[in-house]
Amino acid sequence: MATLTYAYSDLTAVVGPLASFAEPHSYDLCEEHALGLTVPRGWEVMRHVGEFPAPIPHADDLEALADAVREAARIEPAHVLDQDVDMATGRRGHLRVVPPPR
């Protein structure tokens, strides 16, 4: 993976290792497209020399994945909603909300 960044004022496209955060005018590319990138006449391409290292997973990536799984779990098919639902808590199955001790 690589990141392509355009520097419009310099008429330059920079292809380097995968960025760890998003920036305006930056795009992530697979290695094949990073190596085969061409630019318009009059532009210059600056390329990273060597292999493009695999991205290192960040805690943010794992949190985003966990959030996506949680969101998907909230969407239930209509036929599941009719089965075994506790009307008091809105929960289904064996899990229940336990009130705190008084």
Residues across the chain: 102
- The residue among 65 and 8 whose pLDDT is bigger is 8
Q: Does residue 101 surpass a pLDDT of 90?
A: no
| One domain, residues 72 and 38 | no
Q: Does a structural domain hold residue 83? A: yes
Domain region containing 30 = 2-47
**Which residue is listed with tokens 């497209």?**
33
Residue-wise pLDDT tens digits, 66-82: 777 777 777 655 555 45
Q: Does a structural domain hold residue 32? A: yes
Q: Does residue 89 surpass a pLDDT of 60?
A: no
Total domains in the chain come to 2
pLDDT of residue 14: 92
Q: Does residue 50 surpass a pLDDT of 60?
A: yes
Closest CA to 2 of 57, 44, 38, 47: 47
Separation CA 5–CA 100 (nearest Å): 53
Closest CA to 36 of 15, 6, 50: 15
Q: Does a structural domain hold residue 9? A: yes
pTM summary value: 0.49
| One domain, residues 16 and 39 | yes
Count other C-beta atoms under 10 Å from residue 2's C-beta.
Answer: 23
Mean pLDDT of 47-66: 70
Cα→Cα distances 40→9, 12, 13, 21, 44, Å: 14, 10, 10, 26, 8
| One domain, residues 34 and 63 | no
Q: Does residue 39 surpass a pLDDT of 70?
A: yes
- Estimate to the nearest angstrom the gap between the alpha carbon of 84 and the chain centroid: 35
pLDDT of residue 48: 77
Q: Does a structural domain hold residue 96? A: no
